[in-house]
A = this chain, B = another copy of it.
Amino acid sequence: MRKRKGAGRPTIADVAAQAGVSSITVSRALRDPQKVSERLRAKIDKAVRALNYIPDTHASALASSRSNVVAVLVPSLTNNVFSDTLRAIYDALDASPLQVQLGNSRYSATEQERLIGIFLSQRPTAVIVSGIDQTPAARKMLEEANCPVVQIMETGPDPIDMMVGFSHYQGGRAAAQHLIDQGYRHIGFLGARMDPRTTRRLAGFRRALEDAGMFDPDLVKTTTTSSSVTLGGVLLRELARHRPDLDAVFCNNDDLALGALFGAQKAGISVPDQLGIAGFNDLEMMQAACPSLTSIRTDRYGIGRHAVNMIQAVLEGTPPPEKIIDLGFDLQMRQSSDRRHILASGPA
Contacts and interface: CB of A to CB of B under 8 A. Distances in A.
Contact of A78 (B80, B259, B289): B80
Contacts of A261: 290
A135 interface: no
Number of identical protomers: 2
A233 B287 CA distance: 11
A333 interface: no
Contacts of A110: none
A54 interface: yes
Interface stretch (A36-44, A94-102, A196-204, A242-250): A94-102
A123 B7 contact: yes
A87 interface: yes
B229 A284 contact: yes
Contacts of A229: 284-285, 288-289
A62 interface: yes
Interface in A127-184: 146
Interface in A255-291: 255, 258-259, 261-263, 265-266, 284-285, 287-290
A258 B287 CA distance: 12
A84 interface: yes
A210 interface: no
Contacts of A121: 9, 54-57
Given A104-B87, A265-B290, A290-B266, A62 B58 contact: yes
Contact of A262 (B58, B104, B289): B289
Given A122-B58, A262-B289, A266-B290, A84 B90 contact: no
